[in-house]
Structure 1
Amino acid sequence: MSYDAFSEDNWDMASRLPNLSKLISQGARSNRLRSVYPTLTYVVHTTIATGVYPDKHGIHHNNPLQPFVQEEDQRWFWFREAIRVPTIYDAVRKAGMSTAGLLWPVSGKSSIQYNIPEIRALGSENQALKVLRSGSPVYCIRMELKFGRIRQGITQPYLDNFTAKCAVETIKRNKPNLLMMHLIDLDDAKHLYGTDSDEVKQVIQRMDERLGEIIQAVDDAGIKDDTVIMVLGDHGQFNVRYKLHLNHLLQAKGLIYEEDGVKKWRAYFQCGGGSAYLHVQPGDEEAEQLALAAIEEYMKDKTSGIESVYTREKLDRLHASPLTQVMLEARRGYCFDESLDGRLVVDLEAHGIRYATHGYSPDKSGYRCNMVVSGGRIKKNYPIGEIEMVDIAPTMARILGVGFGQGDGRVLEEIFAD
């Protein structure tokens, strides 16, 4: 169970609730799970599914680069074909076992047997048809007929309630060897209301109730003794006061311009909340130098909101995508936005807007994720300590008894009782 944005600041409350505390007492846990860079949902979930860092798996952002396209109109990395390496669900299918996926990122048109992929219609596309073409048609129709009335588009808590009901039904009816599900309620609440809001506390309570439904379904299916439940977060979030529209800096230097009524670019920032990629047209070294000079000039103001410029040396240490040579890291309290609307810096608080986001370095203080793994041969009430997101896939493979090649992570052997 991917519990999107479930981070160390939520541990105290969540770990005291009935269902998660039950799993903790019967399993192993850590609130020191380190994510990958940048800490964006599709980047991290691809690492969870592959056991390798972004520099190998090929998903560098939620979205492919699409300059000047509004965020709500952009394509995402929806399809399995974008991942350059094997996935745990492919390995499980290859071993002759069954798999299920519920809103799992980057799983459209994948090998998952019972699959409702996370995907969204754009423009004139039909949402239902797009899901059917990208997932498992018969399974999708069956779940829609049974639980579709619960859902209200992507509005929460209805979307996650729908996902949980589908999971319960799938566990009871299909008993898949591997079920991977993505629950988004907490991430949405943090984005909309801030990390320390009452709305976030309400979601944590709802999530524990959903977890209880899953635990009960495993029991009802008669597979409790053969089941391991893993609950993990993919990233944290930080509250944001100032939104910095980085591409204004490049536009001011003529690196973004208009020609015959069409916007063009020599350099462009693809933003991801707490981080941003600097893209430069191939071979245009002058554009890169001008862009870096613009950043350096802007950073002379200590309130600029840009904390660091990461060159390839630093990005290689973070195992970040080789797509670009330069990324920017935002200070806490700031985030980056690639649109050219409005002013360079927007004070959200002055506009009465509460907001939080992610995408920052996984090494920022207070930004670790949580993981609980319980059942089967897992040690009881066992503290794991520091672990990496790349350790998840090889550990799942070990639990399932499937071979899964040489990834970047390790099997968490210390959690097993035998």
Structure 2
Amino acid sequence: MGRVKMNNGKAKHLIVISYDAFSEDNWEKASRLPNLSRLIENGVSSTKLKSVYPTLTYVVHTTMMTGVYPDKHGIYHNNPLQPFVREEDQAWFWFRKDIKVPTVYEALKKHRMKSAAILWPVTGKASIRYNMPEIKAIGRENQALKILKNGNPFYCMRLERKFGKIRKGIEQPYLDDFTVMCGTDTILEKKPELLMIHFIDLDDAKHHYGTDSAEIDQVLLRMDERIGKMMAAVLEAGISEETVFMVLGDHGQKNVRYKVRLNQLLKEDGLIFEKNGKLHWRAYLQSTGGSAYLHVKEDDEEAKGRALRIIQTAAEEERLGIEKIYTEEELKAFHAFPVSGCMLEAKMGFSFDDSLTGPLVTDLKEENKTYATHGYSPEKSEYNCCFVVSGKGIRKGYQLGEIHMVDIAPTIASILGVEFGSCDGRVLEEVFLNN
């Protein structure tokens, strides 16, 4: 457990760029591009940033901001459990109230320092001075109104008026092009002490085209240009001598050939059933893509026993892609959120899907489809994230070994000189000059 005490800070401004899905397999190409390479040469980097379990965006970003693992912060998935609701219609963990522990941006507020966040996960109604949260309208909700209601309305309206025409819904590259314009404008107009900005282009491309497609190379180029625009804005704002940049990935992705729908086995056994025209469940597998939580109705030990037997039998079938069934004790070692004390890990080339329709196993290669996903254990090979920190008070041209996602929040606090309470991570003291 670490605790960050008040110090003078290393820099007045910190820009945290979440480069979603930026993992070690992208490092060779990305690190040679002009803007990121400049940050690397003038800073500290690592290709061994270890994520948390499961490796889902909202789970990881919450750890980045709190310095604790999911078992403490409570964001265990992108989505709260919503059985039988289509993925596109599901609510997400959009709101700050769902986080059970303090955040680093709240520590800044106590010191009367300004934070800004642009499309940063789990920040709906957060106490961030300039906040455009990542949030989506579902059902009959209005997208613009939902953002205004849960972010800073005047800030959001201003950015929407200036740059809204760039965006085409969530389609890329337009969404990240909009995001970077919002980011550069915020640097120039607001000069916040902490700016958190979330880019999604790489994650989207990997999901759709796989991890090793030509499209990925194009995204890496676009992302380097966006980083360059942020750097140029800092220079134009006249704060470059007092600024640190932190660029980091949240998870990797793995190519998938087989999608497996294990809830169909629970349905066959009657643990998922229809009654009065509606679906009900006693046990349900909530997929993360690369893993799945077993949910069981409270105090239904009989259902839990039956579900575990079904899962254990399924694990003996090669084609169902179950690499490991984690017990409660093993999940404690991962600091994973204890949903029911059972979690399934998929084999390489496999992913899990909640759906009750379609075949039990789909071979995507036979259907001529490419797909990649995440949610796997952070221990998977070649699955670490990339990390770069560069600027005032930071060592130059230094490479770190293994570091952990829980180290990000305390290091942010230390860079900006604010006190941060106890957490699971440590300050990465070795990145600073004179250490």
TM-score by length of 2: 0.96
Report what 2:103 is aligned to: 87
Q: Deviations over 1:147-203 (max 9, x none)?
A: 011000000000000000000000011000000011000000000000000111100
Aligned residues with identical type, % of pairs: 63
SS at match of 1:64: coil
Counterpart amino acid of residue 299 in structure 1: A
The answer on 1:410 being equivalent to 2:434 is: no
Distance 2:384 2:417 in 1: 29
Q: 1:363 aligns with which of 370, 379, 386?
A: 379
Report what 1:77 is aligned to: 93
Report what 1:168 is aligned to: 184
Counterpart amino acid of residue 80 in structure 2: P
Q: Deviations over 1:33-71 (max 9, x none)?
A: 000000000000000010000000000000000010000
Distance 2:34 2:316 in 1: 51
The answer on 1:386 being equivalent to 2:402 is: yes
**By how many angstroms is 1:241 displaced?**
0.4
Distance 1:158 1:207 in 2: 12
Q: Tell me if the contact between 2:133 and 2:151 (Cα under 8 Å) persists in the aligned partners.
A: yes
The answer on 1:223 being equivalent to 2:247 is: no
The answer on 1:147 being equivalent to 2:156 is: no
Q: 2:284 aligns with which of 259, 263, 268?
A: 268
Report what 1:204 is aligned to: 220
Q: Deviations over 1:317-376 (max 9, x none)?
A: 000002221000000100000011101101111111100000000001000000000001
Report what 2:153 is aligned to: 137
Counterpart amino acid of residue 365 in structure 1: S
Q: Tell me if the contact between 2:294 and 2:339 (Cα under 8 Å) persists in the aligned partners.
A: no
**By how many angstroms is 1:72 displaced?**
0.4
| Poorly superposed stretches of 4+, deviation over 6 Å | none
Q: 1:26 aligns with which of 42, 46, 61?
A: 42
Distance 2:403 2:324 in 1: 25
Unpaired segments ≥5 residues, structure 2? 1-16
The answer on 1:250 being equivalent to 2:250 is: no
- Over the residues paired in the alignment, what is the CA RMSD in angstroms? 0.6
Distance 2:71 2:29 in 1: 35
Counterpart amino acid of residue 174 in structure 1: K
Distance 1:118 1:407 in 2: 25
Counterpart amino acid of residue 348 in structure 2: R
Report what 2:9 is aligned to: none
Report what 2:130 is aligned to: 114
**By how many angstroms is 1:397 displaced?**
0.2
Q: 2:357 aligns with which of 337, 341, 345?
A: 341
Distance 2:82 2:226 in 1: 36
The answer on 1:290 being equivalent to 2:293 is: no
**By how many angstroms is 1:302 displaced?**
2.5
Counterpart amino acid of residue 256 in structure 2: V
The answer on 1:14 being equivalent to 2:24 is: no
SS at match of 1:350: coil
Q: 2:413 aligns with which of 393, 397, 404?
A: 397
SS at match of 2:102: coil
**By how many angstroms is 1:301 displaced?**
1.7
TM-score by length of 1: 0.99
SS at match of 1:373: strand
Q: Deviations over 1:193-220 (max 9, x none)?
A: 0000011110001000000000000011
Worse-superposed segment, 100-109 or 288-297: 288-297
**By how many angstroms is 1:296 displaced?**
1.4
Higher relative contact order (CA 8 A, sep 6+): 2
SS at match of 1:216: helix
Q: Deviations over 1:259-291 (max 9, x none)?
A: 111101110001110010000011111111111
Distance 1:125 1:111 in 2: 23
Q: 1:195 aligns with which of 207, 211, 221?
A: 211
The answer on 1:316 being equivalent to 2:332 is: yes
Distance 1:223 1:51 in 2: 27
Unpaired segments ≥5 residues, structure 1? none
Q: Tell me if the contact between 2:79 and 2:90 (Cα under 8 Å) persists in the aligned partners.
A: yes
**By how many angstroms is 1:304 displaced?**
2.2
Distance 1:174 1:283 in 2: 52
**By how many angstroms is 1:416 displaced?**
0.4
Q: Tell me if the contact between 2:286 and 2:292 (Cα under 8 Å) persists in the aligned partners.
A: yes
**By how many angstroms is 1:298 displaced?**
1.5
Report what 1:102 is aligned to: 118
SS at match of 2:127: coil
The answer on 1:375 being equivalent to 2:375 is: no
SS at match of 1:140: helix
Counterpart amino acid of residue 226 in structure 2: R
Distance 1:182 1:167 in 2: 10
Report what 2:194 is aligned to: 178
**By how many angstroms is 1:303 displaced?**
2.9
Distance 2:315 2:268 in 1: 15
**By how many angstroms is 1:249 displaced?**
1.1
Counterpart amino acid of residue 205 in structure 2: A
